Every structure is written in structure tokens, then in C-alpha cells.
Amino acid sequence: LKLRDKALLLLGFAAALRRSELVGLRVEHVQMLQDRLIIALPYSKTDQIGEGRYVVVPKGQRKGTCPLRALQRWLSRAGIESGPVFRTITPNGRVRTGQVGADHVNDAVKDLARRCGLNAGQYAGHSLRRGWVTAARQRGIPTEEIMRVTGHRDARTLRVYDAAGAHASVVRV
């Protein structure tokens, strides 16, 4: 898995981000501390006026699946110090200045599903967010805490995720 896509998938899952939040992420929105990431989301689908919110992502327990380490590696290797975090890459491996599109998130999730022997048609970019909610529910995390991470304002919306979770595979980080 390429460094960029590994960081994209791990961070998207660990922060329960929407595709638009993930591809719109800028270096200026991310504060990397020794034991966690703090992500500032200036706006989202349910926050069109731009009140913003913060998502804290703890350091992963395993080096190979830690979103903080994966993001640090990607930014360092790509030489990215400002602007879009997840950028397009030319066929010869040159990192460009423009951000990846939302379709790239879908493609990366489907590619990972295929690599894991799963039916890629059942997965898309939103699977990262749904998977996190499902895993949080299975671990007994209270609804209020889940809503704080996801930015949901209505607990009824989480029931949709629960129904999907009954049939979804859970990715463990």
C-alpha cells in the first residue's frame, strides 16, 4: 500500500471522517503531538456555516497501523509542509500540489477490500466512517462520545450505522 493511501485510510477510519473532510484536509488543520493528532475541521456537510469542530486521534498501539505515524511518514516523504495533505501523484511518482478527489478515497477503500479478499463492491469511502461507528458501538462507547467524534447532531442518524454494522466487517487498528 502506498504511503499516501495508507495514511489516508488509517486517518479516515481513526477520525471517522467523511470523504469530503478527508480530501479537504490541509496541513494547517493538523496538529501533531507526541501521543495524538488534533484535527481542526473548519466545516463539514452538517456544518455549512463553518462553526468547525476538532477531532482528536490517539496514537495507535501498533506501529504499522498508527494513523499518526502513517501521516508523519507520508508528509515527510512527500515533502509536504503546507496545503492539501492528500495530493495527487503522477504516474512516475511525483507528488503534485492538488488534492486528491473524493473518488480516490472510494478507490483506495475498494482496493484495500480487494486485497483483504472482500467484495469491493460492498465498500466505499463512507465505509471508513461507518466502520469506526460500528467498532465504537461494539466497544460500548457511549452515543454522546461517538457523536462528539463524528459531529452528528442527532443520535437517530447513528441507528443507520448500527443497522449497517450488523452486516459489516470491522477494521481493527
Q: Which residue in the list 2, 45, 96, 114 is annotated as catalytic? A: 45
Asked about 161 being catalytic, the answer comes back as yes
What lies within 8 Å, CB to CB, of 46 at 6+ separation is 151, 152, 153
Cell numbers that stand for 114 in this block: 480487494
Q: Which residue in the list 53, 73, 148, 152 is annotated as catalytic? A: 152
Q: Which residue in the list 18, 19, 110, 130 is annotated as catalytic? A: 18
What lies within 8 Å, CB to CB, of 168 at 6+ separation is 127, 130, 131, 134
Asked about 129 being catalytic, the answer comes back as yes
Q: Which residue in the list 26, 36, 87, 126 is annotated as catalytic? A: 126
Rounded distance between C-alpha atoms, residue 33 and residue 37, angstroms: 6
Distances (CA, A) of 103 to 53, 82, 89, 100, 157: 24, 23, 14, 8, 24
Is the Cβ–Cβ distance between 6 and 108 less than 8 Å?
A: no
Asked about 18 being catalytic, the answer comes back as yes
Catalytic residue annotation: 18, 45, 126, 129, 152, 161
